[in-house]
């Protein structure tokens, strides 16, 4: 199978072929997603919430991102791997964005980086693209700055807000972003942004009119039951599967039913006799 590249996702949009993107944070998951046909794997800073147990994405460090990007890259041979720039690693200046993006690509090995923000991120996107690193934009709900609007809230519900998001997406494209993620906006807004841009627009809670979709993998696999945004569809119940399997293991260990003879190693009868004597 052919490698997914920046030009190939642009070509998918031109052909009207929808793009399937999911997050991964480790080697085995990346391998399985690629086997399933996922074209773009995002090592999101959702890492902090879904695998490291932080309350938000804010504490995630660039070092943590690099660590997990490396694992995902080792598990892929075909998917395009995008690494998230975490909070505090790019917002200060275009120079900081370039330094952080360079580390994520050079040390982590991902193909592209993603950062949050619309028009205000134009200078950072331009600077990162200029050094040769492909950039994915992210507008709508921005988890890294959720504190600014008091939590995880739908964005672009008023005409004025929706226009601002559309302008932000246009500006990101003009700055050189090759893809834009749109999170938690009304479906007409997701569709309008997708129509307005030549680069692929990947929605999460942005309706069916986007050029592709992304979900947080542990959430869509039902590994977590606590948080359940409206846009989340659960395709499996891994929490149930794991608790059931681990529970059976616990019972079998306690009852002495595991391990069985087939799980153990035999000993030559004569050696055993000499060992016991
Ligand atoms: O961190 C993440 O997983 C993301 C997606 C939700 C787009 O940014
Ligand atoms: Na993210």
Q: pLDDT tens across 243-277, in order?
A: 999 999 999 999 999 999 999 999 999 999 999 99
> What does the mean pLDDT of the chain come to?
97
Same domain, 224 and 245: no
Same domain, 232 and 254: no
Same domain, 267 and 146: no
Same domain, 28 and 113: yes
For residue 113, tell me if it sits in a domain: yes
- Percent of the residues in the chain that have a pLDDT greater than 90, as a whole number: 95
- Per-residue pLDDT at 227 exceeds 90: no
> Which residue among 40, 72, 84 is best mutated to probe the pocket of ligand 1, counting the most ligand atoms within 8 A of its Cβ?
84
For residue 247, tell me if it sits in a domain: yes
- Per-residue pLDDT at 156 exceeds 70: yes
Task: CATH number of the domain at 120, please.
Answer: 3.20.20.60
Choose between 239 and 224: higher pLDDT: 239
Provide ipTM, 2 decimals.
0.99
For residue 117, tell me if it sits in a domain: yes
Same domain, 232 and 245: no
- Closest atom, ligand 1, to C-alpha of 44: 1
Model confidence at 1, pLDDT cuts 50, 70, 90, reads low
User: What does each C-alpha distance from 120 to 52, 164, 259 come to in angstroms?
Assistant: 29, 11, 60
Same domain, 202 and 137: yes
Same domain, 227 and 249: no
Nearest listed ligand to the Cα of residue 183? 1
- Is the pTM for the entire model greater than 0.90? yes
Please tell me the residue having the least CA distance from ligand 1 atom 1: 44
Same domain, 112 and 220: yes
- Would you call 3 exposed, middle or buried from its count of C-beta atoms within 10 A (0-12, 13-18, 19+)? exposed
Tell me the backbone φ, ψ of residue 19, rounded to 5 degrees: -100, 130
Q: How many domains does the chain have?
A: 2
Q: What is the mean pLDDT of residues 175-197?
A: 98
Q: Are 179 and 199 in contact (CB under 8 A)?
A: yes
Tell me, in angstroms, the distance from the centre of ligand 1 to residue 140's CA: 12
Same domain, 101 and 163: yes
Same domain, 259 and 135: no
| Domain end among 221, 236, 251 | 236
> Containing domain of residue 183, as a range?
6-236
Strand blocks (E) in 141-216: 179-183, 201-204, 212-215
For residue 262, tell me if it sits in a domain: yes
Cα Rg of the chain (Å, integer): 22
CA distance 35 to 27: 12
Model confidence at 150, pLDDT cuts 50, 70, 90, reads confident
The 10s digit of each residue's pLDDT in 21-68 is: 999 999 999 999 999 999 999 999 999 999 999 999 999 999 999 999
Choose between 226 and 123: higher pLDDT: 123
Model confidence at 2, pLDDT cuts 50, 70, 90, reads confident
For residue 1, tell me if it sits in a domain: no
Six-digit token string for 102: 């360079």
Q: What is the model's pLDDT at position 151? A: 83
Same domain, 115 and 217: yes
114 among annotated binding-site residues? yes
For residue 259, tell me if it sits in a domain: yes
Catalytic (active-site) positions: 183
CA distance 46 to 80: 18
Same domain, 224 and 250: no
């Amino acid at each position: 199978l052919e490698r997914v590249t920046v030009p190939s996702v642009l070509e998918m949009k031109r052909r009207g072929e929808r793009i399937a993107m999911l997050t991964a944070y480790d080697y085995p998951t990346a391998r399985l997603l690629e086997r399933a046909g996922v074209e773009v794997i995002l090592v999101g800073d959702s890492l902090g919430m879904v695998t490291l147990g932080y309350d938000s994405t804010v504490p995630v460090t660039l070092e943590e991102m690099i660590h997990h990007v490396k694992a995902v890259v080792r598990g892929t041979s075909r998917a395009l791997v995008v690494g998230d720039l975490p909070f505090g690693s790019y917002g200060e200046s275009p120079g900081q964005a370039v330094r952080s993006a360079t580390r994520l690509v050079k040390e982590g090995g991902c193909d592209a980086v993603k950062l949050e923000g619309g028009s205000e991120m134009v200078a950072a996107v331009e600077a990162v693209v200029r050094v040769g690193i492909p950039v994915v934009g992210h507008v709508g709900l921005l988890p890294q700055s959720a504190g600014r609007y008091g939590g995880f809230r739908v964005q672009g519900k008023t005409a004025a807000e929706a226009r601002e998001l559309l302008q932000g997406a246009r500006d990101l494209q003009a700055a050189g972003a090759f893809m834009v993620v749109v999170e938690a906006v009304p479906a007409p807004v997701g569709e309008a942004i997708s129509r307005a841009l030549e680069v692929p627009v990947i929605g999460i809670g942005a309706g069916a009119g986007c050029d592709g979709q992304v979900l947080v993998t542990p959430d869509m696999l039902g590994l977590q039951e606590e948080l359940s945004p409206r846009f989340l569809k659960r395709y499996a119940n891994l929490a149930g599967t794991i608790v059931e399997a681990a529970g059976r293991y616990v019972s079998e260990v306690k009852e002495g039913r595991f391990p069985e003879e087939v799980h153990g190693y035999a000993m030559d009868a004569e050696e055993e006799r000499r060992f016991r004597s």
